[in-house]
Amino acid sequence: MSQRRKLLVGFGASALLHVPRLLAQQPRRIARIGILIAGGHAESQARIDGFLKGLRELGYIEGKTVHIERRFANGNVQSLPSLASELMMTSVDIIFAPDSVAVQAAKSVTSNTPIVFATVGAPVDSGFVFSLSRPGGNITGVSNINPELSAKRLEVLKEIHPHFFRLAVFDSGSASSPNPPGRRVQYLALERTAKTLRVEMFPIDISSRAEFPPKLVQLRTWNADAIYVMSTPLNTNNRKLLVDFAAQARLPASYPSRDYVEAGGLMSYGPSREALYARAAVYVDRILKGVRPGELPVELPTHFELVLNLKTAKQLRLSIAPSVLVRADRVVE
């Protein structure tokens, strides 16, 4: 072998020996996650903390191994599409859009970037996924199965207060989306149960926060003797207003999640939303590791919590039956 050839072979071997070291020195690209929220920072923080905790448990550290872009609509759901566009301009790898209106907005600006949800009640009926087992497309996540839970919430309210027959139902959409995805499915499920229980329903449709005060006043003229608050982003963002009115009107009310009861509401039944948000982090992790969203089945919750506020029950002069109390997962006193 010539001296020149020996030098070339030696150089090549030396370069191969250093390849792993060179690769190890290459900076790893930090994943970019976009979070799109219909509400404001304060009222959404506990749930977002659940999502961030889920990410940390999977090894993601914000600012080190993952970059997170947050966008809040502060109750103005009409702004969600533009906020979703902003997230896309930051080159996010994935969008976490927890509820139906956020998913709808994210879906309107991308058909490629993965979208993960956490509290969508009817993802198939909403047109977000092809089926629960094989979502297809770029959207998947965790459902809170609100339509299925509507019946249970009304049944428990009837157990607590057997003598109501006129139910005011607080529904809510928005001016730009009067029929948000899944809203009709949830309402129809509630309507079927109301007929079975011989309860007359009075729907109260609200499209903005400004409409709440006059609608609440109008409710008094209908002689409703109970309230049912549907699971919608607008209701969630105004939960304290709804709880305070129910207290002023001295009416028992059923709510979709624990945070209403913690704010003074009478009762709620459903999965822990913080737990659903944390579970959504698992989807984000798997997608960032290369799994296609369309191949990840939509997950359904398996644990539901009945939460009761005994202080509110006492103020309403309601005596909750032992058969209901014994089923409560949490009691606020």
Residue showing tokens 């002689």: 223
Report pLDDT for 186. Answer: 83
- Are 31-144+272-295 and 146-270+305-332 in the same CATH fold? yes
CA count, 13 A, side-chain hemisphere, 151? 11
Residue 264 has pLDDT above 90, yes or no: yes
What is the sign of the dihedral through the CA atoms of 71, 111, 89 and 140? positive
75-89, 162-176, 215-229, range with greatest mean pLDDT: 75-89
Q: Strand, coil or helix: what is 301?
A: coil
**pLDDT at position 237, please?**
81
Position 213 confidence tier, pLDDT thresholds 50, 70, 90: confident
Return the minimum-mean-pLDDT range out of 76-80, 86-90, 204-208. Answer: 204-208
Mean per-residue pLDDT, 151-180: 80
Q: Domain ranges in the chain? A: 31-144+272-295, 146-270+305-332
Q: Tokens for 280?
A: 């959504």
Q: How far is CA 252 from CA 165, 218, 313, 319, in A?
A: 12, 17, 8, 12
Give residue 217's pLDDT.
76
Mean pLDDT value of segment 222-248: 88
Q: Which carries the bigger pLDDT value, residue 179 or residue 277?
A: 277
CATH class as words, domain 31-144+272-295: alpha beta
What is the average per-residue pLDDT within 284-311?
96
Strand duo 330-332 + 305-309: pairing: parallel
pLDDT band at 182 (very low <50, low <70, confident <90, very high): low
Between CA 254 and CA 156 the distance in angstroms is 8
Percent of the chain with pLDDT over 90: 65
CATH architecture of residue range(s) 146-270+305-332: 3-Layer(aba) Sandwich (3.40)
Instruction: Give pLDDT, residue 195.
Output: 94
- The pLDDT tens digits of the residues spanning 314-327 come to 999 999 999 999 99
Distance (Å, whole) CA 150 – CA 138: 28
Closest CA to 166 of 144, 123, 127, 199: 199
